[in-house]
Amino acid sequence: MINSRMFAFLLLFLFLSFTVLIQAETRIFSYIDDNGKVVYTNTPSISIKEVETTEMKIERYQNVIDNISSRFKVDPKLIHAIIVAESNYNPYAVSRKGAKGMMQLMPGTAKRYGVKRVFDPIDNIIGGVKYFKDLLIIFDGDLRYALAAYNAGENMVKSYNGIPPFKETRDYVQKVLALYESSGGRKTAYKYWDFQDKIHYSFDKPTEGTYKKISIINLTD
């Protein structure tokens, strides 16, 4: 005959065994709800995908980013660095200021470049790459200024005639440059002075003025 202590022990054993079995079978899924928020659940459905790691996201978007970057003649490794700093490959990211998508486009920028589906990775990346390419042109290939403008706005860079004295912007420029170099991007650039003694930065060897080759990590000096 089973006494009460043995019976309680048996129930506890069965409960723990059942719990372990359930946990072993549980898989976590995520999906984006109508408000753009990530929802986690253990119940899969056709519209739900398994949670992706950063490595999985990189692999998923690698070819898309590389192809779009090459189309607009921007180094793909540089665009990857910007995306890591902006959203870490999250196509549904929304900032407190209202920037949206993988390359964190503000509503005005998205409209300017015809991005109607801002949470669509391809549309967002195309808009972001086109915008960054224009910034490189506006600032004569000065990578520091182009990155600062992508973060703080081109008018802000123009008004300060350089990188604005905002910690967020200066940290952003430094972070993207470090990510770019660590990913195997170009490690050096040219710092040069034109005939008006104005300083410029470029990956291409200058054809005029005085110049010297420097590490891109020092571009923010």
Catalytic residues: 86
By the 8 A CB rule, do 144 and 187 touch? Answer: no
CB count, 10 Å around CB of 75? 16
β-partners of residue 38 are: 32
- Say how far apart CA 140 and CA 138 lie, in whole Å: 6
- Say how far apart CA 124 and CA 68 lie, in whole Å: 11
Cβ within 8 Å of residue 182, ≥6 positions away: none
In 3D, which of 119, 110, 95, 102 has the Cα closest to residue 62?
Answer: 102
- Say how far apart CA 146 and CA 126 lie, in whole Å: 17
